[in-house]
Amino acid sequence: MSLAPLPLPPLMRWLWAVLRGSGGIAATIYLSLPGTADAQVPAIRDVEKNIQLCNRTERSTPEARISSCTALIELGAKTPRARAIAYNNRGNAYNIQGEYNRAIEDYAEAIKADSNYAKAFNNRGAAYQKLGQLKLAVNDFDRSIKLDPKSAPVFANRADTYGKMGDYQDALRDYNEAIRLQPSLEEAWNGRCWVRVIIGELRPALTDCNESLRLNGRVAATFDSRGLAYLKLQQWDAALADYNSALELNPQLATSLYGRGLATRKKGNSADGDADIAKAVALSPNIASDFARYGVR
């Protein structure tokens, strides 16, 4: 499981404060642009549009968000936090596009502008994790947690990274804390389910997966986790049902294809099982060794 970067607080209340004059918002806004003094900038409605697009995560394309955040950055927002939010939001847009290195550059600029901005550390950690730079990811999650020790999603992100590193006890500890802080965090329940399956705590794992599905019943990764639990319990029909559910939601999920192939073989249908396993290996060449580490062959 891998969590997406945390959403940011609204830019509006920050940037309106730094963009307006001391006497209130006038018809025309003036900012300090690089190399100029009190250069005139576009009308207030254009600035407002850029603020809204830069901050909006659901109803704007990444390209539009990047363009608007860039406009605000180039306008020379006057407070460190305003610049940090603009860079951070642009980094999130790059992250959505899979441009993780560019995202990391923007998160670094956000941190440079405001070294106490916990969300920028978390988001950079998430980008490092996507690139497989797991130690750097953990370092950033550590710094985010130090600044904001009550953020459950950051604990879940760090737990997910520990899991990828094979450090299951630390992963379990962080998932416990994430769930304590935010019991409604579906991803943390699924993450803890997955770790418990791997370390052999199968009945508690099922309880965690069931709670995750109660919170959100349309997550392929959770059906996949529970499918592995049933596979290790040798409950082939239950495993097949969960892997089928996972693949309905995500037909390219290699772990579910491989798990379904194994369960199908155990049910005596070698041809269909071999076909699923071949598809899984094509998607993830090392998947057989991964399942061996999970205790499944």
- Residues 65-83: pLDDT tens digits? 899 889 888 876 668 888 9
What pLDDT band is residue 114 in, cutting at 50, 70 and 90?
Answer: very high
Rounded Cα gap, residues 119 and 132, in angstroms: 20
* Residue 125 CA: distances (Å) to CA of 49, 91, 119, 179: 30, 12, 10, 20
> Please, are residues 188 and 156 in contact by the beta-carbon 8 Å criterion?
yes
Q: Quick one: which H or E segment has residue 134?
A: helix 134-147
Percent of the chain with pLDDT over 90: 71
pLDDT at 58: 64
Residue range 1-148 in CATH 1.25.40.10: yes
At 199-237, the pLDDT tens digits run 999 999 999 999 999 999 999 999 999 999 999 999 999
The amino acid present at 58, given as its one-letter code, is: E
How many Å apart are CA 161 and CA 141, to the nearest integer? 9
Question: Which of the two residues, 278 and 25, has the higher pLDDT score?
Answer: 278
Place of tokens 């006497």: 23
Type of residue numbered 269: N
Which residues are within 8 A (CB) of 184 and not within 5 positions of it... i.e. 6 or more apart?
A: 215
Please, are residues 163 and 171 in contact by the beta-carbon 8 Å criterion? yes
pLDDT tens sequence across 93-106: 999 999 999 999 99
- Name the pTM for this structure: 0.82
